[in-house]
Amino acid sequence: MKTVYICVTTDVIHEGHKNIIAQAKKYGKLIVGVMSDEALVKFDRFPTLSTKERVQLFQSIAEIDEVVVQSSVSYRDNLLTYRPDYVVHGDNWKDNEQSVIRDEVMEILKQWGGELIEIPYTRNEAVKRIDTKMREKLSMPEFRRKRLKQLLQLRPIVKALEVHSGITALIAEKTIVANEGELDQFDAMWISSLCDSTAKGKPDIELVDMSSRIRTIDDVMDVSTKPIILDGDTGGLIEHFVYNVRTLERMGVSAVIIEDKTGLKKNSLFGNEVAQTQDTIENFCEKIRAGKNVQLSDDFMIIARIESLILEKGMEDALKRAYAYVEAGADGIMIHSRKKDPTEIFTFCDTFCKRDKTTPIVVVPTSFNTVSEEELAAHGVNIVIYANQLTRSAFPAMQSTAIDILKHHRAKEVDDRLMSIKSILTLIHEL
C-alpha cells in the first residue's frame, strides 16, 4: 500500500480541504500532518484552535488514516519519518513565499522517488467567504487582545513592528519572508508615541492626546489582526490612566507600556540633553496598581518602562525599580537605553532574570541595533520592538521625491522609483 502525506494549517474544514483529502486518499494510506501552533504563527494565520483541537478535528474524518503533528513550517522531519510515496497539495503555493517549502518538498521526495501531486485549489465564493471570515474573526477584540500572551508562549522572542496608520498596519500584517528555507513574519504591532506624533507633524511630548491616539489605533485595527502594544507615554494622571486602561482593553489592545517619567515628557532618545523628570517609585507603583485594579480581563498587560539608564541614574536604580514595579502588578518590564553598546541592557536582563524568571522583558534596540534577536533572547528578552523604522524609511523617500520634482519641474525623473499606479490601486483588497 502506498502512503500519501498532506499538511494542514486550517481551523475550519471547507470544501477545498475536503476535495484535497478525497483526492489524496485515492493514492493510498493517508497521513495528515497538522502544523503546530509554533510553526503556524510564522507561516500563515494565527490559529483560533489549539494544535490539539486541530488534531481532533482531522481525526474525525473517515478518509484519514493517521493524524500527526508537523512541528515546523518545513515538511522535512515528517517526510523523513514517514517517507510517503506522494505529497498532495493545492496548486496555490507555486508563486508566493511558500515556494521555498515546495522546492524543499520536491528535493526531499527525490531521495526515494516520491512524487508531489498538485491539485487545483478550490476558489469559489463559499470557500472565499470562509477564509475571509476566519481572518476577520482574528481582528475581534476577544481574539486580538489575548494573542500577545499566547505569542509569548509560542515564540522564542516576540517581534513587534512600529505602525502609525492603516497602510503601515497592512505592511506589518502581510509581510512574510522566506529565508533559509523558513518563513517568518512580525508577531505584533507597536503604536509609538514618536511615530504617531511625527505622522501628525507634532513633537513627541504627549501633545497628541488619547482621543487622537485612539483614532490611530482604530485605523490600525480596521485593517489588521495582529496584537497591538501601545506606547502609553507616562500614562498621564492616575485618575485618567484608569479610564484609558478600560478603553484600550475594550478595544482589544493587548498591552500598554507606560514610562516612569513625569511632567513634560520628551522622547527618551534625547536622554539628558533635555530636562526630563523621573517619577518616584511610589507614585509610579500607584499608577500601575490603579491600572491593574480596573482591568477586567486576564489578557490585558500593563508593562512598566524604566528610564533609569536613559537618565543615567544607574543600574542599581533600574533594577530596584523593576522589582518594585513587578511587585505593584506590572505584567512586564521594558528597559530602555540609548547606548550603541548593548552591555548595560544585557547586564540588566541577566541580573533581573536571575531573580525573576517569569516576568517578560521588552527592549527597543534603536540605538543598540547591531544586536540580533537570537542574542536578545539568550539574555532573557521576550519582546523586541522595532519602534520607528517604518517612519524613518518612508520619510527620506518622500522627501527626496519632493526635492526632485521641484528640481526637474516635472515628475518623470522620479517615476522609476515609485510604486506603479496599478500596484497602488490593487494594494488594498476590497471586501
Binding site for ligand SPV (CB under 6 A): 192-194, 204, 231, 267-269, 364, 366, 387-388
Q: How far is the CB of 92 from ligand SPV (least distance, A)?
A: 37
Nearer to Mg ion, 135 or 266 (CB): 266
Q: Give the Cα separation of 190 and 29 in Å (integer).
A: 47
Strand, coil or helix: 236: coil
Q: How far is the CB of 222 from ligand SPV (least distance, A)?
A: 22
Q: Give the Cα separation of 290 and 219 in Å (integer).
A: 28
Nearer to Mg ion, 234 or 254 (CB): 234
Q: How far is the CB of 192 from Mg ion (least distance, A)?
A: 6
Nearer to ligand SPV, 113 or 201 (CB): 201
269 binding partner (options Mg ion, ligand SPV, none; Cβ < 5 to 8 Å by kind): ligand SPV
Q: How far is the CB of 392 from ligand SPV (least distance, A)?
A: 11
What number of CA atoms fall less than 13 Å from residue 291's CA on the CB side? 33
Nearer to ligand SPV, 79 or 387 (CB): 387
Q: Using CB under 5 A as the criterion, what x/- string covers residues 170-209 for binding Mg ion?
A: -----------------------xx---------------
The yes-or-no answer on residue 204 being catalytic is: yes
Cα dihedral sign, 270-271-273-279:
positive
388 binding partner (options Mg ion, ligand SPV, none; Cβ < 5 to 8 Å by kind): ligand SPV
Q: Rule CB under 5 A: say whether 307 interacts with Mg ion.
A: no
Alpha helices in 275-342, H assignment, sequence order: 281-294, 315-327
154 binding partner (options ligand SPV, Mg ion, none; Cβ < 5 to 8 Å by kind): none
Residues 139/225, Cβ–Cβ less than 8 Å: yes
Bridge partner residues of 188 (DSSP)? 160
Residue type, 228: I
How many CB atoms within 10 Å of residue 309? 22
Strand, coil or helix: 401: helix
Q: How far is the CB of 381 from ligand SPV (least distance, A)?
A: 15
User: Residue 46, Cα to own-chain centre: how many angstroms?
Assistant: 10
Residue among 204, 231, 233, 299 flagged as catalytic = 204
391 binding partner (options Mg ion, ligand SPV, none; Cβ < 5 to 8 Å by kind): none
What one-character-per-residue DSSP string does 72-129 give? SSSSHHHHHHH--SEEEEESTTSSSTTHHHHHHHHHHHHTTT-EEEEEPPP--HHHHH
Residues 75/68, Cβ–Cβ less than 8 Å: no
Nearer to ligand SPV, 39 or 158 (CB): 158
- Considering only residues 213 to 252 of the shown chain, the ones binding Mg ion according to CB under 5 A are 231
Which residues participate in catalysis according to the annotation? 204
Interacting residue ranges for Mg ion, rule: CB under 5 A:
193-194, 231
